[in-house]
């Protein structure tokens, strides 16, 4: 029997799945990426937990970072991943590396209606699709249809220059420019970016910070804590989330103008999916549409949130399955 390995490797978490080529899932596991020195340690632990001996025919590793042929660097971790090394160390016949948003793109086609939430209905028409997703970083990709298949093109568009759209965002840009020199959208539309926005607003608005929120941020993931307190209505956390989603929506609109995804723009990543109520109430769609003379054009583009947290893993498995026959 042929066996496939799929991996979704990110700065926060790494998902692994072992399956038969028939589709039967034999083992699946989630790991905290920062707990391991490199990906090889995670894969060793996973295969030991899976038990038995499986001769893996194809592995597809979806990596949150740029891929250069047979090697890749995880953007938010000091991990270098080399396909040849994985092939030799683990005796895998074929190892494919791809950008994590390339895998998400291939996973989109397998989504059911219940895996999606429509933020803006638009007027879907034949044409490209686009993907954007904030998590540890900010991923972007676009899809074009060729014959009966979608071809996914990964990008590093999350690292384009941040462009403020109001006075508060201008002050935010000035604040970050002093710290970093170059300020990309990923500096703000990411988990660490949400924390940055929170601290900026605390000082800029001179908020009296909620002591429970401050203490919780010291003990746990700051972005998750800010989201939790925003859902409870805490003023500073709520304003931080609103500003975060406004900047997020503006960059989604920039991507839409660049790609013209008439078949839809899809929002991936854990931050949106875990904060749907805040997302729907925030200025995301207003910022998405706020493109002056191009607003009417963007009003036609459907915008949907991907609810399936394993869409990238599923896309990696699909790519591994295709590689069996190529």
The string of DSSP codes covering 77-95 is: SS-EEEHHHHHHHHT-SEE
To the question of whether residue 10 is assigned a binding role by annotation, the answer is yes
CATH of 158-306 given 3.90.1150.10, 3.40.50.10320, 3.30.429.10, 3.40.367.20: 3.40.367.20
Q: Confirm or deny that 2 is annotated as ligand binding.
A: no
Spatial neighbors of 280 by CB under 8 A, at least 6 apart, are 119
Q: Give the residue range(s) of CATH 3.30.420.40 domains in the chain.
A: 3-106+310-324
CA distances from 260 to 14, 124, 130, 254 (A): 32, 11, 8, 10
Neighbours of 154 (CB within 10 A): 22
What is the predicted pLDDT for the residue at 52?
A: 66
- Alpha helices by DSSP H, listed for 116-189, are 167-180
Query: Which residues, given as ranges, of the chain have pLDDT below 70?
Result: 52
Question: How many C-beta neighbours within 10 Å does residue 235 have?
Answer: 14
Consult the annotation and say whether 264 binds a ligand: no
**Strands, E assignment, the chain:** 3-9, 13-20, 25-32, 56-63, 67-68, 71-73, 80-82, 94-99, 116-120, 129-134, 138-146, 149-155, 265-268, 303-306
Q: Which of 188, 192, 226, 189 is nearest to 207 (CA)?
A: 226
> Torsion angle of alpha carbons 115, 120, 122, 127, nearest 10°?
-50
Q: How many CB atoms lie within 10 A of CB 115?
A: 18
7 has binding-site annotation: yes
- The answer on whether 23 is annotated among ligand-binding residues is no
- Of 3.20.20.370, 3.30.420.40, 2.60.40.10, 3.40.190.10, the CATH number of 3-106+310-324 is 3.30.420.40
| Rounded distance between C-alpha atoms, residue 183 and residue 205, angstroms | 21
Question: Beta strands 265-268 and 129-134: pairing type?
Answer: parallel
What is the SS3 assignment for 8? strand
From-to residues of CATH 3.40.367.20 in the chain: 158-306
Separation of alpha carbons 104 and 141, rounded Å? 9
CB atoms within 10 A of CB 54: 18
First-to-final CA distance of the chain = 18
Q: Are 59 and 86 in contact (CB under 8 A)?
A: yes
Q: What is the pLDDT of residue 146?
A: 87
As a whole number of angstroms, the distance between CA 95 and CA 82 comes to 9
pTM: 0.92
């Amino acid at each position: 029997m042929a066996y496939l390995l799929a991996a979704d490797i990110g700065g926060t978490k790494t998902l692994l799945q072992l399956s038969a080529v028939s589709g039967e899932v034999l083992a699946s596991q989630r790991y905290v990426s920062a707990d391991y020195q490199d990906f090889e340690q995670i894969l060793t632990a996973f295969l030991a937990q899976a038990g038995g001996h499986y001769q893996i025919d194809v592995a597809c590793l979806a990596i949150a970072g740029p891929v250069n042929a047979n090697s890749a660097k995880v953007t938010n971790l000091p991990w270098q991943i080399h396909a040849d090394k994985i092939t030799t160390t683990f005796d895998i016949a074929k190892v494919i590396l791809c950008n994590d948003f390339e895998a998400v793109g291939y996973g989109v086609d397998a989504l059911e209606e219940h895996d999606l939430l429509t933020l803006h209905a638009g007027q879907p028409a034949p044409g490209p699709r686009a993907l954007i997703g904030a998590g540890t970083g900010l991923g972007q990709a676009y899809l074009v249809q060729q014959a009966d298949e979608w071809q996914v093109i990964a990008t590093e568009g999350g690292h384009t220059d941040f462009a403020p759209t109001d006075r508060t965002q201008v002050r935010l840009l000035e604040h970050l420019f002093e710290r970093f020199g170059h300020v990309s959208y990923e500096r703000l539309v990411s988990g660490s970016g949400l924390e940055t926005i929170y601290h900026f607003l605390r000082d800029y608005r001179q908020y009296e910070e909620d002591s429970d929120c401050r203490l919780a941020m010291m003990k746990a993931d700051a972005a998750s804590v800010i989201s939790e307190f925003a859902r409870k209505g805490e003023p500073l956390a709520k304003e931080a989330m609103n500003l975060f989603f406004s900047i997020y929506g503006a960059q989604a609109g920039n991507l839409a103008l660049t790609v013209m995804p008439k078949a839809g723009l899809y929002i991936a990543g854990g931050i949106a999916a875990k904060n749907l109520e805040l997302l729907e109430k925030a200025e995301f769609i207003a910022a998405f549409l706020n493109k002056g003379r191009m607003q009417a054009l963007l009003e036609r583009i459907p915008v949907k949130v991907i609810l399936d947290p394993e869409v990238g893993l599923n896309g990696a498995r699909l790519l591994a399955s295709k590689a069996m026959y190529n």
